[in-house]
Amino acid sequence: MEKVIFFDTTLRDGEQSPGASLTSSAKLTIAKQLAKLNVDIIEAGFPIASEDDAYAVKLIGKEVKGPIICAFARCVTKDIEVALKSLEVAEHPRLHLFLATSEIHRKFKLSKTKDEIIKIARDMVRFSAKYIDDIEFSPEDATRTEPDFLLQVCETVSKEGVKTLNIPDTVGYAVPEEYGALIKFLREKSPDNVVISVHCHNDLGLGVANSLIAIKNGARQVECTINGIGERAGNASLEEIAMNLIIRKDHYKVSVGLETKHIYRTSKLVSSLTGIPVQPNKAIVGENAFRHEAGIHQDGVIKYRKTYEIMRPQMVGIPESSLVLGKHSGRHALNLRLKSLGITVDEEKLDRIFEQFKNLADKKKEINDLDLIVLAEQEIMPSIEPVYILEYFHILSGTSTLPSATVRIRKKDEILEDASLGDGPVDALYKAIDRIVNLSPKLQDYKISSVTGGKDAQGEVVVSLMIDNLSVVGKGLSTDIIEASARAYLNAINQFFARKSITKKKYRGA
């Protein structure tokens, strides 16, 4: 069977989701997990977009081995030069060029004629080919481009050395039948040594369907993101495409090189670092994807699992069984259970996870597998040296009193304490913290989500702050939602100081 190449663009197109900005260290953490998942290509960023994005591409190119590392660039000389500079240390570099080709983009965005588009595409690919062998080209808004002109563009860049032609459904406009026909048309007209790739957006909910029919019609590279994140309604979901090709290999007749047991862990990591939750009914990785509540379903699964499960949860890294752990459990038992969940940590990290585990066990009677995964993620995620650490807080609130908060924070060896009134307990808490740290953040977003089940569930708070024209995101986890709110707010403030430190540095290479 021919192999489908998985091109993951979580770190480029996925990061363009509103509110999903990632630091270079967070991008590196995700890239390492994508390498464990064994994706073929990682699109690490859009280097011209920012200094930190360029640094992230170079850092990933240096630290992540195995996958091809790709940088995105417009058909503009400066874009290409910055992208190539970012790719210098990558073991297997790829340059991804794009240029809009549809009539609506030519007329209203670029103000260019067809001949001008052809010339720009040819000249920029010819320029790039002097410095790099692996070039991919995307005619932006391909599905709204006249087919004959689209073919002319593709033929032009292929002659100049492009090895991968990506046909993006940039605005999710295509329907499967016409998209499949377009891919078949281009496959038949293109040289055999050129790979046809697809990049589908989900504006009409057809991103995965369009990607699959494209593969059926000859595409052998698929561009997608973890959890389907991306611009507007997102991109085609990597996990959904992969499991369709695997479970229905009788229909698609292609092979997949992914290590699918890492899908769930990768999904959770991306959700945690971007602050974008996964909907419970999301296929493959949603909380309910392998849960059965209806009596008829439960009876069927008990008698024979395949009556209602077309895939085993272990295939994507979701533990099927649960182990009850409580406050009397020991460090050795915790380590064994973590290993059974595919989580291996060193002694120092295990000590910290165990400490958090014991704290949680005092609040919850039973700790399940998802609790353990969440605790481990908090430790494994990229960390910063915190400037401020929460020591203590006290809230006074009720229907007959104005909410107040007293907060004690440690800054190195110094203990700082202050109090404030507020419109609510969280507002009072945040005002007290503002007084201590002597900042005036603007709260842009505040989200609460339950990351485990039950009345004593762990709750995660994600806050987005604007401080001195810098947008930062903080996360906090606790069974007490007020405590989670305080930790998220302080985490965002600590991220602010870390980001300020990064922006002061000049772009130096990894």
Distance CA 372, CA 477 (A): 13
Sequential DSSP letters for 38-104: T-SEEEEE-GGG-HHHHHHHHHHHHH--SSEEEEEEESSHHHHHHHHHHTTT-SSEEEEEEEE-SHH
- What 323-326 contacts at long range (C-beta under 8 Å, 24+ apart), as own/partner pairs, is 323/368, 323/369, 324/366, 324/367, 324/368, 325/357, 325/361, 325/366, 325/367, 325/372, 326/361, 326/365, 326/366, 326/367
For Cα atoms 5, 8, 11, give the angle at the middle one, nearest 5 degrees: 160
CB 403 within 8 A of CB 397: yes
Nearest to 140 by CA among 170, 110, 171, 108: 170
**C-alpha pair distances (Å), 384 with each of 26, 420, 491:** 11, 28, 9
Distance CA 267, CA 33 (A): 10
**C-alpha pair distances (Å), 402 with each of 143, 396, 408, 429, 436:** 58, 8, 20, 13, 21
Extract the tokens encoding 479: 């069974």
Query: Strand, coil or helix: what is 294?
Result: coil
Is 96 within any annotated ligand binding site?
A: no
Extract the tokens encoding 4: 């489908």
Where does 336-421 show beta strands of DSSP type E? 389-398, 401-411, 414-421
Residues 6 or more apart whose Cβ sits within 8 Å of residue 504: none
Distance CA 103, CA 207 (A): 22
Query: Strand, coil or helix: what is 268?
Result: helix
For Cα atoms 127, 92, 130, give the angle at the middle one, nearest 5 degrees: 15
CB 174 within 8 A of CB 143: yes
CB 507 within 8 A of CB 55: yes
Distance CA 45, CA 70 (A): 8
Query: Strand, coil or helix: what is 379?
Result: helix
Is 281 within any annotated ligand binding site?
A: no
- DSSP code at position 106: I
Is 346 within any annotated ligand binding site?
A: no
Is 201 within any annotated ligand binding site?
A: yes
CB 94 within 8 A of CB 135: yes
Nearest to 375 by CA among 302, 482, 268: 268
Nearest to 388 by CA among 441, 447, 454, 320: 441
Residues annotated within the binding site are 13, 199, 201, 235
Residues annotated within the binding site for Mn(2+) are 13, 199, 201, 235
